[in-house]
Amino acid sequence: MKYRLIAIDVDGTLVDSNQLVAPETQDAIRHAQDRGIQICIATGRSMKETLPVWRQLPLSDPPLPMAVIGGAMVCDPVTQRTLYHRPIDLEVALELDAVLAAAGHSSLAFVDGWRHDADYYFGENGNGEAAMEMWFSKMNVRIRRGASLRSMPDMPAPMRINAVASAQEATSLARELAERFAGRLVIHSLLAPNYGVYVVEAFHPQADKYRAVAYIAQGLRIPTAAIAAIGDDVNDIPMLSQCGLGAT
């Protein structure tokens, strides 16, 4: 099979610890494109977090959409328009917020900023605020704040909900949430390398990088068997296991 599309994760894969794309990686991207292979990003980051990396890449014009928020969204990096999204059911999201608050954790809900006038809704009802405030200080994002997600009447269905925890807490919390919300949410626990904290993430059960990359490939009339995926973390598993080639 001749691969026609490469989907590349960002953290731990595309960039180094200084958030830079190495010259040899840029050369490899040029070489792939010279052979007719197209390149897209598939990341757990938001679009705003991803754009500084995307701008370092020597991508052919016009550039492909990006799969962001762990595959919950596909965005056009030029217009920043949302092309595809898989939001969490709002009532499920509010139930999760209450469960997290009862366990002593704040909820950070990412929403579709292209459709709404905010990027995040922050339920300040537990620990984790310091790490989240550090992140807010580094990014130009629009934030709505409240005592809980339910307390904000204009809260839309979110793409993802995060809670910050210690390494030990993250493992047990993720396990408990996966059991409680089985079939309604997909739960990940992973290290956020840029901030040195562990994050428990919740998504719609059909939001993953494979589905988002397949959406991009469909627009190019590329079968999934002709996609090569590169990644290194738990949220990469769907695309690594279901694309034509998975590499870590």
Give dist(CA 131, CA 79) in Å, integer: 30
CATH 3.40.50.1000 maps onto the chain at 5-85+207-247
User: For the chain, what is the mean pLDDT?
Assistant: 92
CATH 3.30.1240.10 maps onto the chain at 90-203
Average pLDDT over residues 52-58: 96
Residue 167: predicted pLDDT: 82
Give dist(CA 201, CA 189) in Å, integer: 6
Higher pLDDT, 120 or 134: 120
Q: What is the pLDDT of residues 58-86, one digit of tens each?
A: 999 999 999 999 999 999 999 999 999 99
Residue 209: closest CA among 5, 53, 7: 7
Residue 193: predicted pLDDT: 67
Kind and range of the H or E run holding 216:
helix 209-220
Topology of domain 90-203, per CATH? 3.30.1240
Q: What is the pLDDT of residues 192-232, one digit of tens each?
A: 766 678 899 999 999 999 999 999 999 999 999 999 999 99
Residue 131 pLDDT > 80 = no
Residue 91 pLDDT > 90 = yes
Topology of domain 5-85+207-247, per CATH? Rossmann fold (3.40.50)
Q: What is the pTM assigned to this prediction?
A: 0.91
**Residue the block writes with tokens 């997290």:** 100
Residue 36, phi-psi category: left (phi > 0), alpha (psi -120 to 50), beta (remainder): left
Residue 127 pLDDT > 70 = no
Give dist(CA 7, CA 10) in Å, integer: 10
Beta strands in 93-248 (DSSP E): 107-110, 120-123, 143-146, 160-165, 186-192, 197-203, 227-230, 245-247
Residue 124: predicted pLDDT: 80
